[in-house]
Chains A and B, each alone.
Chain A
Amino acid sequence: MCLGIPGRIVEVTDPETMTAMVEVGGVRRPTNICFIVADDTPPSAYLGEWVLVHVGFAMSLIDAAEAERTLAMLTELGEIQAEIDAMQQSNEANFSLRGTDHGHEVCR
């Protein structure tokens, strides 16, 4: 329960009611940002920020660094996996090479 979409605050249309224009893939919608604006901070301070929008309200400020960390971790995981696969394939190739050429030596 659930449908939330990341969008960017592109305009503050009414600081009194905390209404801003948020853009998602080229589509704009009036969005209430009262839940993400800190006390004593003007709404305009959030221009350009990315937020999670649910039924016309911004519910969370997206932590860009955290997003980057998650993706980077997964990328690294993929790279490690690829390395292991490559090593494994090369080991298998070596083993079978020795096996066919010097079968009697393998058991030494």
Chain B
Amino acid sequence: MAMKYVDEFRDPDKARTLVAEIRGLIPRIPRAGERPLQIMEVCGGHTHAIFRYGIQQMLPEEVEFVHGPGCPVCVLPMGRVDDCVAIAERPEVIFTTFGDAMRVPGSQKSLLKAKAEGADVRMVYSPLDALAIARKNPGREVVFFGLGFETTMPSTAMTLIQARRAGQTNFSLFCNHITIIPTIRAILDSADLQLDGFIGPGHVSMVIGTRAYDFIARDYHKPITVAGFEPLDVLHSLWMVLRQLAEGRCEVENQYGRIVPEAGNARALAAVDEVYELRPFFEWRGLGSIDHSGVRIRDAYAAFDAERKFSVPNVVVADPKACQCGEVLKGVIKPHECKVFGTACTPEMPLGSLMVSSEGACAAYYSYGRRERVPA
């Protein structure tokens, strides 16, 4: 019994077709003769798919994927993890979170460690599950750790809308949502990068639509194809980007049309707009502070804002000196070129969140592929 809309997009025959097409395109791209083409996939989900299915090895050496910073767990600054731990360690709090965030190291400990030491930290699949916990535990304060890009914002926003409607005053959100466009802009403005094109984030796009990326083609003259997450989607999108390069085009293309509407999802965007507003700036692990890259809860929903309800340390914690997370996140170096890759920084003892997150480039390299350090 096949899984519809999933198994068809894992078809090895179509994979072979696309790889052959990609090989055929290479000679038509002038730059490909000088150095490998660098195609950045922004989204952590794409990083994961590439490694899980072994896609890079299927490609000719003239094309390389560069793994971008679109992994909300990877860019979680240590200071914010410390804030989470501080809230979680309060006896009246039930701290709920997605599984991804539990192992990210703070300056003292991760949420998983805090849980082991007695804090009531619970993993949930949906923010609505956290709201249900609040309903079932009227005597406790339930906090949900909201992370993720625009993909997840509508869901946490709707949860707060429901919480307010129901008067669920013992529920609040610790908001760490980040936006994708300033991130991509920061990458494009970065001096140390040489990118030829982009594989765009398919699930962010089902919320925000595809026109948001027009500036990439128009102002920075890089082609971008919005991509789905099955391996065939990734290969197909790569082919589309390379075709743009071969034909001298510079456009925003949508490979994921079966799920991404050009205009995005108006209802989802409305929920986001009702609950959230842009922060003037927000701190990203490894990338420093980026303007307008995060959102916070509006005053109308202040009663459900954990940042206002609880006082947290709110300290900006510098990454360990040895950390080269920023360079990996920007795609300047590959994971195995980091000075501490595989030695001081391993999945067992991670220095940075890229080694912790299941879609972090470093964790992927370590688990799925290369183990040995290579000088940059």
Contacts and interface: CB of A to CB of B under 8 A. Distances in A.
A and B touch in the complex (CB under 8 A): yes
Interface of A: 1-6, 8, 17, 24-26, 29, 32, 34-36, 50, 52, 54-57, 59-60, 62-64, 66-67, 69-71, 74-75, 77-78, 81
B3 A1 contact: no
A74 B151 contact: no
Contacts of B206: 4, 52, 59-60
Contacts of A60: 206, 259-261, 265
B346 interface: no
Contacts of B6: 5-6
Nearest to A73: B236
Contacts of A25: 1, 3
B229 A2 contact: yes
Interface in B229-284: 229, 232, 236, 255, 257-261, 265, 267-268, 271
B127 A55 contact: yes
Contacts of B8: 67, 71
Interface in B160-181: 162
Contacts of B71: 1
Interface string B1-38: 10111101100011011101100000000000000000
B367 interface: no
Contacts of A29: 125
29 contacts: A1-B45, A1-B72, A1-B201, A2-B46, A2-B201, A2-B203, A3-B45, A4-B203, A4-B229, A35-B267, A35-B268, A54-B152, A56-B128, A57-B154, A57-B155, A59-B151, A59-B154, A60-B259, A60-B260, A62-B5, A62-B258, A67-B258, A71-B9, A74-B14, A74-B17, A75-B14, A77-B17, A78-B17, A81-B20
Contacts of B158: 32, 34-35, 57
A1 B128 contact: no
Given A17-B162, A60-B261, A55 B17 contact: no
Contacts, number: 129
B235 to A, nearest CB: 9
Given A32-B158, A77-B21, 15 more contacts: A1-B70, A1-B151, A2-B44, A2-B45, A36-B265, A50-B4, A57-B126, A57-B128, A60-B260, A60-B265, A64-B258, A70-B257, A71-B8, A74-B18, A78-B13
B207 interface: yes
B61 interface: no
B267 A34 contact: yes
B137 to A, nearest CB: 19
A2 B259 contact: no
Contact of A6 (B5, B44, B45, B261): B5
B98 A55 contact: yes
A56 B258 contact: no
A36 B236 CA distance: 27
Contact of A1 (B152, B162, B259): B152
A20 B181 CA distance: 32
A77 to B, nearest CB: 5
A41 B22 CA distance: 45
B344 to A, nearest CB: 28
Contacts of A71: 8-9, 14
Q: Which 3 A-B pairs have the closest CB atoms?
A: A2-B45, A56-B126, A6-B5
Listed residue (A5, A50, A54) with the most chain B CB atoms within 10 angstroms of its CB:
A54
Contacts of B129: 56
A80 B304 CA distance: 58
B126 A1 contact: no
Nearest to A75: B14
Contact of B257 (A3, A24, A52, A63): A63
Contacts of A74: 14, 17-18, 232, 236
B149 interface: yes
A83 B127 CA distance: 52
Nearest to A79: B17
